[in-house]
């Protein structure tokens, strides 16, 4: 197989950083191997401590292990979401009205877990540990996950990083032959967005960016004109 060259960019770097949304609804379109190659090549260009490159990616599309892994995680996701839907009170308050952001988010999440097995691509980013776990080890795998999502965006795809596999990680280790010393760091689904990318919503910048001291907003930390905001965490 001769690799296709890396495609030319159609999206700028800042543009991509500011408008890559978590994409949870996909068309049925598969992601062709050349695109997967570009996405994974970009993922692995991320930095890691001492350039040890402890990140590994198990890509699951439509083989027997892919079908089994998607079913395992899908079932776990539905159970976890049902629990979260209640504990985070998605159906109470404004969640009882169909047109609110809270109700919309609940519908999106419900559809995501209900259709988990139909996601075109499932990627399990893994971390090969060379020492006991530290709170800092994520610095050597999550930047690569972000590169992965941004590269998908660059090619017109989209995805979301989740932790839905946590409840079935041991079953996944067995199914996929993952050594015990390896940490499955996340569950990423990818596909062609049924919706669209666009500006993301966050808290106002002065709540997130300080200068000289904790909780002291940097005077220059001003959101660009037109920025839309959202509160942090599950909708209230």
- Binding positions for its own copies, 73-132, rule CB under 8 A: 126
Among 29, 63, 82, 198, the residue binding its own copies under the rule CB under 8 A is 63
CB of residue 103 to its own copies, shortest distance in Å: 16
Nearest CA among 18, 39, 3, 11 for reference residue 120: 39
Among 70, 116, 147, 191, the residue binding its own copies under the rule CB under 8 A is 147
Six-digit token pair at 86?
A: 């209640």
Among 28, 97, 98, 136, the residue binding its own copies under the rule CB under 8 A is 136
> Contact 35/137 with Cβ under 8 angstroms?
no
Whole-angstrom distance between the N-terminal and C-terminal Cα of the chain? 51
Size of the site for its own copies (CB under 8 A): 103
Q: Which helix (H) or strand (E) holds 149?
A: helix 142-154
Tell whether residue 138 is a contact of its own copies (CB under 8 A). Answer: yes
Q: For its own copies, give the closer residue by CB, 170 or 203.
A: 203
According to CB under 8 A, which residues from 39 to 58 bind its own copies? 40-42, 44-47, 49-58
Nearest CA among 169, 172, 141, 192 for reference residue 36: 192
According to CB under 8 A, which residues from 176 to 235 bind its own copies? 176-179, 182-183, 185-186, 200-203, 205, 208-215, 218-225, 230, 232-234
DSSP string, 24-77: --B-SPPPPHHHHHHHHHHHTTS--GGG---EEEEEESSSHHHHHHHHHHHHHH
Q: For its own copies, which stretch binds (CB under 8 A), given 74-82, 90-98, 155-163, 190-198?
A: 155-163
């Amino acid at each position: 197989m001769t690799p296709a060259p890396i495609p030319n960019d159609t999206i700028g770097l800042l543009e991509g950083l500011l408008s890559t949304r978590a994409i949870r609804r996909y068309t049925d379109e598969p992601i062709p191997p050349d695109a997967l190659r570009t996405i994974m090549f970009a993922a692995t260009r991320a930095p890691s401590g001492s350039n040890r490159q402890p990140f590994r990616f198990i890509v699951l599309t439509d083989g027997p292990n892919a079908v089994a892994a998607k079913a395992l995680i899908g079932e776990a996701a539905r159970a976890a979401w049902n629990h979260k839907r209640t504990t985070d009170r998605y159906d109470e308050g404004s969640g009882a009205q169909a047109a609110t952001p809270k109700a919309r988010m609940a519908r999106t999440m419900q559809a995501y877990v209900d259709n988990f097995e139909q996601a075109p691509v499932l990627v399990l980013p893994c971390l090969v540990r060379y020492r006991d776990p530290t709170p800092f080890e994520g610095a050597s795998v999550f930047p690569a996950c972000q590169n992965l999502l941004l590269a998908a965006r660059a090619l017109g795809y989209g995805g979301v990083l989740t932790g839905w596999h946590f409840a079935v990680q041991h079953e996944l280790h067995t199914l996929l032959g993952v050594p015990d010393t390896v940490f499955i760091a996340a569950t990423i689904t990818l596909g062609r967005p049924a919706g669209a990318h666009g500006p993301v919503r966050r808290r106002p910048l002065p709540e997130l960016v300080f200068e000289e001291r904790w909780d002291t907003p940097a005077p220059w930390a001003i959101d660009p004109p037109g920025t839309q905001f959202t509160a942090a965490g599950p909708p209230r």
